Structure 1
Amino acid sequence: MAHVSGAHFASTDRWGGVSAAPYAELNLGGAVGDDPAAVRTNRERAARWLGLDPAAVVWMNQVHGKDVAVVDGPWAPGGTIPSVDAVVTARRGLALAVLTADCTPVLLADPVAGVAGAAHAGRPGLVAGVVPAVVGAMTRLGADPARIVAHLGPSVCGGCYEVPEAMRAEVAEAVPESWATTRGGTPAVDVAAGVRAQLGRTGVSAVTQSDICTLESADHFSYRRERVTGRLASYVWLEGGHAADAGEGESGR
């Protein structure tokens, strides 16, 4: 877990949960075929380890797009979770969560304005523009890109994310910095490099990145390695506030 001037960033690994194989152990994804009761327990455990109220975490129904939801509290229990790939909030203490198993989780915060954002940036979302979309939504809430601090959680690295040549060309046409080659010399995409470049073009320059490649790490879930597997979660929140007052319970993908 990282702490930057009132902003908190955290990502889970796969250990310490109750899910059975192939989701062992700390699967936090609710749409991958795991036992829903195990997912609820895992989400509660992860939140409490981070000092968060499990009822004050906002999850998304991620669809590899660029839509952004502005939130001021958790979703209503039993309600529909919107199909978005980014969420932003001006409510301190409200944690925003991203689920991944190779995609790049993008966590952002402007502690001065009290605005946080989180985005799910896989290859399609990178091309669609989810990163500039989330920064734009934060700016409309009062954030200043020059003040935003960003952290990219664990994801598959450019040296491992092999793709067909035509796909590399398509992604690089939209985001040139994503062009990569695997260690074996085959075409690849570096999603995190593309995210960093897009952040820079929006004016966000304070960016840190996890050094963990999910495909290489046995301690993390990887869809490309295992196909049927769990999901990691990455969280961002700002100090202060009482987000849990906005609603009881926790649900989501």
Structure 2
Amino acid sequence: MLRMRIDPAANRGVGVAFTDRWGGFSTGALAELNLGRVDADDPAHLVANVAALRAGLGVDRIALVHQVHGAQVVEIDRAAAEQIDDQTVLSEPTGAAGPIPSARRMPTADAMVTRLPAVALAIRVADCLPVMLADPAAGVIGAAHAGRAGLLGGVLPAVVARMRGLGARDIAGWIGPHICGSCYEVPRTMAEEVWAAHPATRATTSWGTPSLDLGAEALAQLEELGVTAVGLDPCTRESPELFSHRRDPGSGRLAGLVWLATGWIRN
């Protein structure tokens, strides 16, 4: 279930985790721990997967957003958290689950911040970058979905700015599993345009074609923003333990999660 986990007790009260595809209830191409694809999975399986993950992390709630490859950031405050339960995974505005009351609809955004303990911020991916952020001393955490469009469109500066608006100063970051530069092939015209504006992305696939290294770009952006970050980032396309849209179109979704421990106290 958990590909990697940093326990809050070993990380100044901040937990960080990245899931693999095992330990859940989904079947077929979505087996087993699919955390997205409300349009394709059995709703009961999705809810059971979220519940199992929540119990495994020891948190009260898992906050989700409907990700659209943008740079919008939402704060999960107490009012928003009170609307979250394991059924929230079914509330994406896709139409697949039928009409959803506005008060229960999953917010549309590509990043979240919170100061609440025991609420895990979850970013779901199947090749994009899940970026987890925290200032343990300030008790502020953030999470960002950094696909190509969002990463190049400013989602990381946006979430860091929002965290600093909540009092964060010394921010650490963790980049989870994503497609690597040796696998993320793009058309040459796109590659050359991106390379010119973002030199850290320059890469070549293992078969010799133009590609983008989004992990290197994320680390470069975070360094420029004053964030100390590390890449805990096996390649999704290369690992059958992980979901990958490039390898298996229509695959399930992994998650990166960050949370403040229950009982966190400001230093």
Please give the TM-score of this superposition, normalised by the length of structure 2: 0.85
Q: Provide the rounded CA distance (Å) in 2 between the counterparts of 1:108 and 1:32.
A: 29
1:149 maps to which residue?
Answer: 172
Q: Provide the rounded CA distance (Å) in 2 between the counterparts of 1:120 and 1:241.
A: 27
Q: Provide the rounded CA distance (Å) in 2 between the counterparts of 1:8 and 1:181.
A: 34
Aligned residues: 237
Kindly provide the CA deviation profile for residues 157-191 of structure 1, in whole angstroms up to 9, marking residues without a partner as x. 11111111111123223422111111122100111
Is 1:213 aligned to residue 235 of structure 2?
Answer: yes
1:138 maps to which residue?
Answer: 163
Kindly provide the CA deviation profile for residues 13-66 of structure 1, in whole angstroms up to 9, marking residues without a partner as x. 00111111110111011435111110100011111111222xx11101000000
Residue 241 of structure 1 deviates from its aligned partner by 4.2
Is 1:38 aligned to residue 60 of structure 2?
Answer: no
Q: Provide the rounded CA distance (Å) in 2 between the counterparts of 1:119 and 1:216.
A: 23
Higher relative contact order, chain-length normalized (CA < 8 Å, sep 6+)? 1
Q: Provide the rounded CA distance (Å) in 2 between the counterparts of 1:170 and 1:61.
A: 28
2:91 maps to which residue?
Answer: none
Q: 1:32 to 1:152 in 2, by over 3 A?
A: farther
- Partner of 2:221: helix, strand, or coil? helix
Q: Which of 2, 6, 26 is residue 6 of structure 2 equivalent to? A: 2
2:245 maps to which residue?
Answer: 223
Long gaps (5+) in structure 2? 85-100
Q: Which of 58, 73, 79 is residue 68 of structure 1 equivalent to? A: 73
Q: Provide the rounded CA distance (Å) in 1 between the counterparts of 2:123 and 2:147.
A: 11
Q: Provide the rounded CA distance (Å) in 2 between the counterparts of 1:149 and 1:196.
A: 11
- Partner of 2:192: helix, strand, or coil? helix
Q: Provide the rounded CA distance (Å) in 2 between the counterparts of 1:208 and 1:26.
A: 25
Q: Provide the rounded CA distance (Å) in 1 between the counterparts of 2:230 and 2:176.
A: 9
Is 1:116 aligned to residue 141 of structure 2?
Answer: yes
Q: Which moved more, 1:100-109 or 1:164-173?
A: 164-173
Runs of 4+ in structure 1 over 3 Å off: none
Long gaps (5+) in structure 1? 243-253
